[in-house]
Amino acid sequence: MSARALKTWGDIKLATLQKLFSSSGTQITADSSTAEYINAMPQTCMEALQMLATVGKFIVKEFEIYNERFENLLSNGFTQYRLYDETLSLKANNVGSFYFDALGGLTVEVYFDGVLERTIPLSLGQYEGISGTFADHGEVELRFIAPDDHPVCVKNICMYHERFPSDDVVPPYGEFLYYYLPDIVEDFYQLKEDDIYYVNPANEPSYIAANNLYQEANNTLVLRRDQPGTYRIYYKAYPQQIDLTTPDDYELPLDPEVAVLLPLYMASQLYKDDDNAISTVYRNEFEVAFERLSNGANTPRKESFESVTGWV
């Protein structure tokens, strides 16, 4: 069976059984002589996939983020306030929602058309993002009431005209917007550097490599608020889980040079108790091919992305 033919989970299982001398044909025979091997295949396959997808030949996928810049009805939204035994009051008209970051254990009163709509007590600790939305538009006043025994800080105070479905989906406000990518795509492993593209709302140019982007802790993408638009992001993905319920016709998203290595690794693991010498041969063949795939695949991670043209 050629490398190109290894497309489905059934192909992988059959090729593995052939290396275990448990199949000489083109069909998987499930009987007492193969059941133990077949039942152990998903785990050994996932071991190989994890190695190949995170060090060797990456599984590359894409998704898009729409970075929308909602306008702040307050003119001094980026100002950071340090309060001590005092009250800061900010008002705006035609407000549909609000957001702010607070630190230090203060109390926030939210008034809607002059009526106290909610009270938000904040505990001591790190900066906490607080947001809220309303059923209608109106005049909104935020009163930040600082305690008399320690200072507190408030920043990124924003009042939006837009209303949102719930408090927790009101977008944060700040010069930089942070996207924790594992929350956006479940199989996220790592950003694929230099493969983030930007669609300019003005469409001149309409599609270019993105610039002024930052990566934090290998899993957080940071975009500038003043560069709204659609970002197409390519990333390295973890492999999809293989288990005993995976159908034989499931096609693994692998290149041929990767798929052909799976039976080698699986056979090397499954054949240890039966013939350690043959198991070692298979493992050595896998390691040699694995090294060729992984050589130069991982380059040092950059902290920012720049376009060659410098247009963005």
51 and 89 together in one domain? no
What does the alpha-carbon distance between residue 97 and residue 233 come to, in Å, rounded to a whole number?
29
Same domain, 86 and 161: yes
CA-only gyration radius of the chain, Å? 28
**pTM (two decimals):** 0.69
Whether residue 198 is contained in a domain is answered as no
The Cα–Cα gap between 231 and 165 comes to 24
Residue 22, domain extent: 3-60+248-294
C-alpha 57, offset from chain centre: 19
94 shares its domain with 56: no
Has residue 125 been placed in a domain?
Answer: yes
The predicted pLDDT at position 226 comes to: 82
Residues 23/17, Cβ–Cβ less than 8 Å: yes
In total, how many domains does the chain have? 2
- What's the confidence (pLDDT) of residue 201? 61
DSSP for the chain reads --GGG--BHHHHHHHHHHHTTS--SSS---STTTHHHHHHHHHHHHHHHHHHHHTSS-EEEEEEEEE--PPPSSTTTT--EEESS-EEEEEEEEEEEEEEEEESS-EEEEEETTEEEEEEE--SSS-EEEEEEEEEEEEEEEEEE--SSS-EEEEEEEEES---SSGGGSPP-SSEEEEEHHHH-TTEEEEEEEEEEEE-TT-TTSSEE--SEEEETTTEEEEETTS-EEEEEEEEEPPPP--TTS-TTPBP---HHHHTHHHHHHHHHHTTTT-HHHHHHHHHHHHHHHHHHHTTT--PPPSEE--SS---
CATH at residue 124? 2.60.120.680
User: Is 68 within the bounds of a domain?
Assistant: no
On whether the CB atoms of residues 112 and 134 are closer than 8 A, the answer is yes
What is the structure's pLDDT at 46?
A: 94
Pairwise CA distance, residues 140 & 158, whole Å: 11
Q: Is residue 135 part of a domain?
A: yes
| CA–CA dist 18, 263 (Å, integer) | 9
User: Are 43 and 90 found together in one domain?
Assistant: no
The reply to whether 163 falls in a domain is yes
Is residue 102 packed enough to be buried (19+ CB in 10 Å), middle (13-18) or exposed (0-12)? buried
Q: Which residues of the chain have pLDDT under 50?
A: 1-4, 297-312
Q: In this structure, are 33 and 98 located in the same domain?
A: no
Say whether both 18 and 91 belong to one domain: no
Q: How far is CA 114 from CA 97, 98, 246, in A?
A: 16, 16, 59
Task: Write down the pLDDT at residue 174.
Answer: 87
Domain end residue (candidates: 169, 188, 220):
169
Q: Is the peptide bond before 205 cis (omega within 30 degrees of 0)?
A: yes
pLDDT of residue 67: 85
Residue 214 belongs to a domain: no
The span from the CA of 134 to the CA of 149, in Å, is: 33
On whether both 85 and 161 belong to a single domain, the answer is yes
Residues 90 and 153 placed together within one structural domain of the fold:
yes
Question: Considering 148, 169, 190, which residue would you say is the last residue of a domain?
Answer: 169
- 240-278: pLDDT as tens digits: 899 999 999 999 888 888 889 999 999 999 999 889 999
- Residue 57 burial (10 A CB sphere; 0-12, 13-18, 19+): middle
Predicted confidence at residue 306, as pLDDT, reads 44
User: Which of 169, 201, 227 is the C-terminal boundary of a domain?
Assistant: 169
Contact 163, 137 (CB under 8 A): yes
Kindly state the tokens that stand for 149: 């025994």
Please tell me whether residues 102 and 143 are part of one structural domain.
Answer: yes
Residue 205 lies in a domain: no
Q: Is residue 18 part of a domain?
A: yes
Q: Could you count the other beta carbons within 10 Å of the beta carbon of residue 38?
A: 18
Residue type, 293: L
CB-CB contact of 25 with 18 (8 Å): no
